[in-house]
Chains A and B, each alone.
Chain A
């Protein structure tokens, strides 16, 4: 029974964290978009910087009338936001935030995350179909075509660093990159460097962020699958969108940017080991890096114009897919030629004097 209570506490903690993170990112998006458009963004709610803007938005959205159009399919319309939320929140079960700080230390963590996040698409299509509106249906169909296509290059790009790491366990992958910043997989080979850009493009598209936000395209589809939604259900879609942005950025940080390992190991020689404080700094590192990637996504959104749907599909099927396949092949050849990597001389053993287990030490 004690176990069950601990599981419950961990689940509540994780859900709360993800929800709060999503709210912070929504505030950040408003500030970033404001600055990029030469505005101030929210300034009043909760002091000078508008810290509480997201909370105020939430309060407003809860009070709104809960509308379901007459022509909609009632059950599916109500169900869709929950499927989307479930998809992006369950993914966090396998995402390690610091060394060993993970809800479930899965052996196949990165594969599990990709799999669960692919369920999210279904909710969006359900929303588009059940709304009973032409705009929504078009949005849903675009989403189906786009995400199913972008999943392929994204998965192939994830396989490339995994080939170097030799494991699907995110915890182990991040620990393998301990040490100076040139141990990060981003700098392990020119191929991985290119791969990170391809992965990031696909990740942006799979979160349906601009310039790939064809499913909601305000200017042509009147918000697409979101057209008929209002109030709390509408905000669920946005919570899920920001949560999955954080999730794909987290995968990016762990696969390419060394996870919770700082660029320079300043605590070299000090044996933190399993001490709480060392993991806490790791958590800070991880959050800063992930937020940076989320910021890049926002930056892209507010500077680039939206692509047309045929351009989106062309980008994926004619450029990103062959590129990712070629990169996979090149990396395989690279590993035959340089089995130990170019700069792999300062491996994790050097910075792991205590010899702690790389996979976080959990079963």
Chain B
């Protein structure tokens, strides 16, 4: 794709991620906040695709947008007291949080702009390198690729010419830990959310 189109696309994606994120904070309406969050997370998925991380982008869409966000909306519906939930913060809180937010953003931006990172060549975009699922899987099992940016990424996509060196056990242990963790989360969530008697209201 030509450079101009890709830059326009990138600008759109950045705006699509950042502007709805600000709107999430500004809006007082909880379901609208969820919709802005949808846009922001979808924009982040687009950025992942742009970075060549297709798998992460698709996972972001499937789990965050299709799963977590739907769950959040479900929670809003189940706990809504009025037709459209509306909880306002006081204006004093607002002034305070805007102050804190802008100073934090200023500090972080300063931190980003300050260092000369590792080497200046890193800031040049060397064309899209698509990480195939094979490579992600191999890295997962502890076979990281020797050269993070191969010379001809398009040609060497799926072909593992010579088996790369085995370095440690990769991410198998974290994976195991997370699996156990998720099982516990499932059990815990089911325990917490199971149907219970509501506390009896005092009848006047």
Tell me the A residues contacting B by CB distance below 8 Å.
Answer: 1-4, 7, 71, 73, 75-76, 79, 83, 106-108, 111-112, 114-116, 118-119, 121-122, 125-126, 129-130, 132, 137, 140-141, 144-145, 147-148, 151, 155, 167-168, 359, 363
0 or 1 for each of B1-16: is its CB under 8 Å from A? (1 = yes): 1101100000000000
Q: Evaluate whether A144 and B73 lie within 8 angstroms (CB atoms) in the complex, with A7-B1, A118-B67, A129-B31 already known.
A: yes
Check if A108 sits within 8 Å of B73, measured CB to CB: no
Q: Which residues of B contact A76 (CB under 8 A)?
A: 31-32, 35
Interface set, chain B 54-73, CB cutoff 8 A to A: 54-55, 58-59, 61-62, 65-67, 69-71, 73
Instruction: List the B side residues contacting A2 at CB < 8 Å.
Output: 2
Q: Are A363 and B157 in contact (CB under 8 A)?
A: yes
A79 CA / B55 CA spacing, docked (Å): 28
Interface pair B31/A107, CB less than 8 Å apart: no
B58 touches A129 (CB 8 A): no
| Residues 152-178 of chain B, each 1 if its beta carbon lies under 8 Å from chain A, else 0 | 001001100000000000000000000
Residues of B within 8 A of A73 (CB): 29, 31-32, 84
B128 CB to closest chain A CB (Å) equals 9
- Which applies to chain A's interface (DSSP): helix, strand, loop or mixed? helix
Choice from B1, B59, B62, B69 contacting A122 with Cβ under 8 Å:
B69
Q: Is B83 part of the contact surface with A, judged by Cβ < 8 Å?
A: yes
Q: Given A7-B5, A79-B35, verify A107-B54 contact (CB < 8 Å).
A: yes
Cβ-neighbour of B133 out of A126, A144, A155, A167 (below 8 A) = A167
Known contacts A3-B1, A107-B157, A130-B31; is-contact A118 B65 (Cβ 8 Å): yes
B2 adjacent to A141 (CB under 8 Å): no
Q: How far is the CA of A132 from the CA of B31 in the complex (A)?
A: 13
B132 part of interface (Cβ distance < 8 Å): yes
Whether B77 is near chain A, meaning CB under 8 Å from some CB there, is: yes
Residue pairs across A and B with Cβ atoms less than 8 A apart, 5 shown, are A112-B54, A119-B38, A122-B38, A122-B73, A125-B73
Which residues of the partner chain A approach B158 to less than 8 Å between Cβ atoms? 107, 167, 359
Are A132 and B35 touching (Cβ within 8 A)? no
Binding site for A on B (CB under 8 A): 1-2, 4-5, 29, 31-32, 35, 38, 42, 54-55, 58-59, 61-62, 65-67, 69-71, 73-74, 77, 83-84, 130, 132-133, 154, 157-158
CB <8 Å contact, A119 and B157 = no
Q: Find A116's partner among B61, B67, B130, B154 (CB 8 Å cutoff).
A: B61
Closest to A110 in B: B58
- Tell me the bound Cα distance from A359 to B134 in angstroms: 14
User: How long is the Cα–Cα vector from A339 to B83 in the complex, in angstroms?
Assistant: 58
Closest beta carbon of chain B to A331's beta carbon, Å: 18
Bound-state Cα–Cα, A137 to B55, Å: 34
Contact status B133-A108, CB under 8 Å: yes
Contacts of A148 in B (CB 8 A): 66-67, 70-71, 74
**Do B74 and A118 touch across chains, with their CB atoms under 8 A apart?**
no
User: Known contacts being A132-B83, A359-B158, is A107 close to B58, with CB within 8 Å?
Assistant: no
A121 to B67, CA, bound (A): 10
Return chain B residues, CB-CB under 8 Å to A3. 1-2, 5
Q: Do the beta carbons of B77 and A137 come within 8 Å of each other?
A: yes
Distance in angstroms from B26 CB to nearest chain A CB is 14
- In angstroms, Cα B70 to Cα A129, docked, is 12
B62 and A118 contacting across the interface, CB-CB below 8 Å: yes
- Residue contact A119 to B66, C-beta cutoff 8 Å: yes
Give chain B residues whose Cβ lies under 8 Å from the Cβ of A75: 32
Q: How far is B70's CA from A141's CA once the two chains are assembled, in angstroms? A: 10
| List of B residues within 8 angstroms of A83 by Cβ | 38
For A363, list chain B residues within 8 Å (CB).
154, 157
Chain A residues positioned under 8 Å from B58 (CB to CB): 108, 111-112, 115
**Which residue from B32, B74, B130 sits with its C-beta under 8 Å from A144?**
B74
